[in-house]
Structure 1
Amino acid sequence: MSEVAFPPLLSGHEVSGHEDPFGTACKKAILGCDAGLVTYNLAADSLRAALVFAPEVPLRQAMAMLPTCGVGFQNALGALAPPEVAVHLEWQGQIRVNGARCGALRSAASSTDPDTPPDWLVIGLEVPLWPASQDSGNTPDETALYAEGCADVEAPALLESWARHSLHWITRWEDSDAKALHAEWRGLAHGIGEDTVQAGMPGTFLGIDQDFGMLLRDEETTHLIPLTTLLETP
């Protein structure tokens, strides 16, 4: 079992084998576990983890934890990886390292009502450490951490750093410093100003609203696509 030290307010629960820590976190949240639980699985070729929240604000606002944990991951890898390694974040949760996709964040909650505080919210993280295939030419837009100059970044240290940096930004957000979080995320955002398709609608990604909802402009109007559309069924 891997030795991982979490900051105060967070507690760890390691799973092994093929067990998915995201699914485990959702099950524990349904059973009423405490907020701040971090479930994780550190395999030879991947880092997978999930963090349990008990929001006191409506789900629409609580979904800010998805980009918050993304910023936490960028800060964490930035502190451990060589300075030339670039990390960017897609609105949907995907992580890009040196331009190629390298894992993603995901989310699930006790309900999908955007106007009601959920009983629980889980944010998951999955990052490949080694490529699934040695023939990377078949998937030029997909990469893995150790293929991008990060071979010295140990998974337990990265997990600890992610938890620590995410908690830092969560605390700032709770202390009404959302402006700083927005500024940090926008500086890391991938795809703003580019054409995309979200919720079945094509358009140009203009930016985000105060709750990190996507502003998508088509030929006639600007649509607001809330982060709650990204929720998975637990």
Structure 2
Amino acid sequence: MSDVSFPPLLHGHQVSGVEDPFDTACKKAIFGCDAGLVTFNLAPDILRAAMVFAPEVPLRKAMAMMPTCGVGFQNALGALAPPEVAVHLEWQGAVRVNGARCGSLRAAASCSDPEVTPDWLVIGLELPLWPASEDTGHSPDETALYAEGCADVEAPALLESWARHSLHWITRWEDDNGRALHAEWRSLAHGMGEDTVQNALSGSFLGIDEDFGMLLRAEDTTHMIPLTSLLETS
């Protein structure tokens, strides 16, 4: 196992080969594992990890763990990467490094009803370390961490830092009802104020509501697209 240590309340489980730690975390959650499990796979070219939560609030509020883990990742990479490296977050879960997409966050839960408190919630992170091809000109909007001046950032250290910073923001979210998290996420949001398409709706991305739902202005109306719409089938 890679030498990875996690803060109190979190415990790790490493997988290898082609095993997807997100799928593993969902399976373990279904069978009743403890909250705080972090599954991870540290391949030479990609970092994949997932955290298991046991929410005590309805799913529409628990989904705040997705932007929480996004902010945690931005803080983690910001602490390890050169200061000129910029990290931003898309509402849909994509991570952007120096303007180009570089991995993403994803979510799955035991239910899909926004008003039901789920038995479990899993947030996953996938981050390419090296480009899939040396010819990056064919996909200028896609990048990898080590192609963006971050070759000295070691994957185990980044994973540890992500866990610590995410745990910090979870605590702050619990303490102030998400006010600090909202402010931090907005400062990192990519595409706010721009036209976008989400759930077959097009319009201008105005911002987020108290539960991080997307506010999409379309002609004479404003749509609210909940974060729960991003849930994957477990």
Q: Give the drift of 1:168.
A: 0.1
Instruction: Please give the per-residue CA displacement for 1:72-96, whole angstroms capped at 9, x wherever unaligned.
Output: 0000000000000000000000000
Counterpart of 1:75 in structure 2 is 75
Instruction: Please give the per-residue CA displacement for 1:153-194, whole angstroms capped at 9, x wherever unaligned.
Output: 000000000000000000111113411100000000000000
- Give the Cα separation in 2 of the matches to 1:27 and 1:141: 33
Taking only the aligned residue pairs, the percentage that are identical comes to: 81
Matched, 1:96 2:96: yes
- Give the Cα separation in 2 of the matches to 1:95 and 1:113: 26
Instruction: Please give the per-residue CA displacement for 1:34-84, whole angstroms capped at 9, x wherever unaligned.
Output: 000000000000000000000000000000000000000000000000000
Instruction: Please give the per-residue CA displacement for 1:95-121, whole angstroms capped at 9, x wherever unaligned.
Output: 000000000000000000000100000
Counterpart of 1:23 in structure 2 is 23
- Give the Cα separation in 2 of the matches to 1:209 and 1:25: 29
- Give the Cα separation in 1 of the matches to 2:115 and 2:188: 28
Q: Secondary structure at the match of 1:222?
A: strand
The residue type paired with residue 144 of structure 2 is A
Q: Give the drift of 1:145.
A: 0.1
Q: Secondary structure at the match of 1:123?
A: strand
Q: Give the drift of 1:30.
A: 0.1
Instruction: Please give the per-residue CA displacement for 1:130-152, whole angstroms capped at 9, x wherever unaligned.
Output: 00000000000000000000000
Counterpart of 1:14 in structure 2 is 14
The residue type paired with residue 210 of structure 1 is E
Question: For the aligned residues, what is the CA RMSD?
Answer: 0.5
Counterpart of 2:129 in structure 1 is 129
Q: Secondary structure at the match of 2:68?
A: helix
Counterpart of 1:141 in structure 2 is 141
Matched, 1:154 2:154: yes
The residue type paired with residue 187 of structure 2 is G
Q: Give the drift of 1:13.
A: 0.1
Counterpart of 2:224 in structure 1 is 224
Please give the residue correspondences for 1:26-105 in structure 2 after superposition, counting only pairs within 5 Å.
Answer: 26-105=26-105
- Give the Cα separation in 1 of the matches to 2:89 and 2:14: 26
The residue type paired with residue 181 of structure 2 is L
Matched, 1:179 2:179: yes
The residue type paired with residue 167 of structure 1 is L
Q: Which runs of 5+ in 2 are unaligned?
A: none
- Give the Cα separation in 1 of the matches to 2:3 and 2:182: 33
The residue type paired with residue 115 of structure 1 is E
- Give the Cα separation in 2 of the matches to 1:27 and 1:3: 24
